[in-house]
Chains A and B, each alone.
Chain A
Amino acid sequence: MKRTPHLTAGIISVIILVAGMFGFNFYAESLESKYINALAPLDIQQARNGSALQRAAIQQPDLLPVYGSSEITMVDTNYQANIFFRDYPTGFAVIDVANLGMSSITMAQNLVALGPALKGRKVVISITPAPFTMGALSEQYYAGNYTRLHAYELIFSPYLSLDVKSAAAKRMLDFPSTLQADPFLKLTLSALNKPSLLTRAFYFIAWPFGELQTIVMNLQDHAAVLAYLNSHSLSPDVQHQPQTIDWNSTLAAASAEQKQHTLNNQYGVEDTKWKNYEPLLSKPIVPGSGDKRFIRDVQSAREWDDLKILLSVLQELDAQPLILSRPMNVHLWEALGVSEQAQNNFYTKLHEVTAPYDVQVIDYREYGTDIYFSIDQAAHTSRKGWVYVDQTLDDFYHDRLR
């Protein structure tokens, strides 16, 4: 101590710092766990962009996390699962991790961050035919849902195989704007993308630094959640109001409500969205004229590769997922020139891609001809559609799904 006072002081400081980090982490996790049920129905940005609240939610037995995109957030209705189940009518509530334009690769990044906490836990992956049938994921959407924390969690995860990380890295390099400010991550992604002895060595040298950065970002995430809790007066006590849901009457009420929002067209398109379709449908369209292009789009959609990455993540982390798709809006697509037979390519490909992963898949194909299930061509869920979804979620949570 006499000869090396700086070294001794430095070591003591580091020990105090590490102990402080552990203490803070423990304190934050206990608060997050205490408040997660109260936070679940709120649309908190930190729940999507961080991992702390998602981790707290997945460990809560009476919460069912639903990951998804615009089909979750588009229609503001009380039938939306997160609101419908907010009083725990059948013993659970839903927490959404969803945002407009959120894709399979973003969901994969979010879920990897949960690590071993995912093991054996039920999680719902909500998808729609849109990204598989109507065009590629734009960089704008990806960037709008991208966070460094989730990217690091995926790339430096100790729980994922190198194959999955390499596949994800390849995809993440397709969106260079998200990597501009992070040359270290970009370099690591490039190394993973080109497997060789040298790049593998680089990855393993980079790994501790990436992991350290991930730890720091996780602490920052906790700090952001604590700041939120500090600035909002929330009670951790959530009332459970058990009740028996009469699904038939709920469906009838939702259906009647939906019809009131689709008064200006015969396709069940939401009134506010009809202006997008009216010009297209005012001209005669030859039935089946869009089949060829549709089939080509479905077969070549990059989103299938992203879905495979997501399914691999779920498989390697041993989760119990439900893939909850939405039906093709059959009559609207037919009016736009795509026959029902061609539309069925989506279901065929969906089951072809998901089959090797042995996951439960619901595609609602039987409701494809119900014009009130979706509000538009992209199969955004309507009020009526939400009742079917709610019923499925209830069955999934209570192990009644076959």
Chain B
Amino acid sequence: MWIKRLTTFITTAYANPTTKTILLTLYYLAIIAGLIIMYGKGDFSTPKFIYQGF
């Protein structure tokens, strides 16, 4: 039921150009946020080694 209401709301809102742009911006920002969460963590580790002098 709530999905139907949400779909109706989005379809109605999408018809308005300003709201459409806002929704699209939020959509793109969500994608960017997802990418940052998935791939944003840097890897600063270095391989372990046994120091045996020179």
Contacts and interface: CB of A to CB of B under 8 A. Distances in A.
Interface of A: 1-2, 5-6, 8-10, 12-13, 16-17, 45-46, 49-50, 70, 100-101, 130-131, 134-135, 140-141, 143-147, 149, 217, 220-221, 223-224, 376, 378
B21 A12 contact: yes
Contact of B44 (A1, A10, A49, A134): A49
Contact of A221 (B17, B44, B53): B44
Contacts of A140: 47, 49
B24 A146 contact: no
B46 A70 contact: no
A143 B28 contact: no
Contacts of B20: 5
A13 B24 CA distance: 9
A23 B5 CA distance: 37
B32 A49 contact: no
Given A101-B51, A223-B41, A16 B29 contact: yes
Interface string B14-37: 000110110011011100100000
A74 to B, nearest CB: 9
A145 B54 CA distance: 15
Contacts of B51: 70, 100-101, 141
A1 B17 contact: yes
B16 to A, nearest CB: 11
Given A13-B28, A17-B32, A220-B42, 11 more contacts: A5-B20, A6-B24, A9-B21, A12-B21, A45-B44, A46-B44, A101-B51, A143-B49, A145-B46, A217-B42, A223-B41
A220 B28 CA distance: 21
A143 B47 contact: yes
Contact of A49 (B18, B27, B46): B46
B4 interface: no
Nearest to B51: A100
B24 A9 contact: yes
A12 B24 CA distance: 10
Contacts of A101: 49, 51
A321 B13 CA distance: 63
Contacts of A49: 44-46
A73 B47 CA distance: 18
Nearest to B44: A49
Contacts of A146: 46
A368 to B, nearest CB: 18
A14 to B, nearest CB: 9
Contacts of B46: 49, 143-147
A9 B40 contact: no
Nearest to B48: A144
Contacts of B27: 9
21 contacts: A1-B17, A2-B17, A5-B17, A8-B24, A9-B25, A9-B28, A10-B28, A12-B21, A17-B29, A45-B44, A49-B45, A50-B44, A100-B51, A131-B54, A140-B47, A143-B46, A144-B46, A149-B42, A220-B40, A223-B41, A378-B53
Contacts of B42: 149, 217, 220-221, 223-224
Contacts of A224: 42, 44
Contacts of B44: 45-46, 49-50, 147, 149, 220-221, 224
A6 to B, nearest CB: 6
A224 B24 CA distance: 31
B44 to A, nearest CB: 4
A9 B45 CA distance: 37
Nearest to A12: B25
A217 B27 CA distance: 25
B49 A144 contact: yes
B49 A141 contact: yes
B34 to A, nearest CB: 13
